């Protein structure tokens, strides 16, 4: 029961955060939204998402990493 409550709270937190961003007129990328869905399903952790984003957006030798 506790895990289900935590999962529901986590999903609500993500939905709220994405909603706040969208209110500002910014649409999160499909890649980011897929990472969020995987985190909601328990396939990734917040730390996994962070690592993916850092790798994707870190500048290496004057170029963005892909």
CA dist 66 and 55 (Å) reads 7
**First-last CA distance in the chain:** 40
**Inter-axis angle of helices 30-40 and 46-57, nearest 10:** 160
Q: What is the pTM of this model?
A: 0.73
19-42: pLDDT as tens digits: 999 999 999 999 999 999 999 999
Residue 56 belongs to domain spanning: 2-64
Domains identified in the chain, total number: 1
Asked whether the predicted pLDDT for residue 66 surpasses 60, the reply is: no
50-62: pLDDT as tens digits: 999 999 989 877 6
């Amino acid at each position: 029961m506790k895990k289900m409550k935590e999962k529901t709270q986590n999903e609500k937190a993500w939905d709220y955060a994405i909603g706040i961003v969208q209110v500002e007129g910014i649409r999160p990328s499909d890649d980011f939204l897929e990472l969020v869905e995987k985190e909601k399903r328990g396939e990734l952790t917040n730390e996994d998402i962070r690592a993916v984003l850092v790798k994707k957006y870190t500048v290496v030798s004057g170029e963005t990493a892909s």
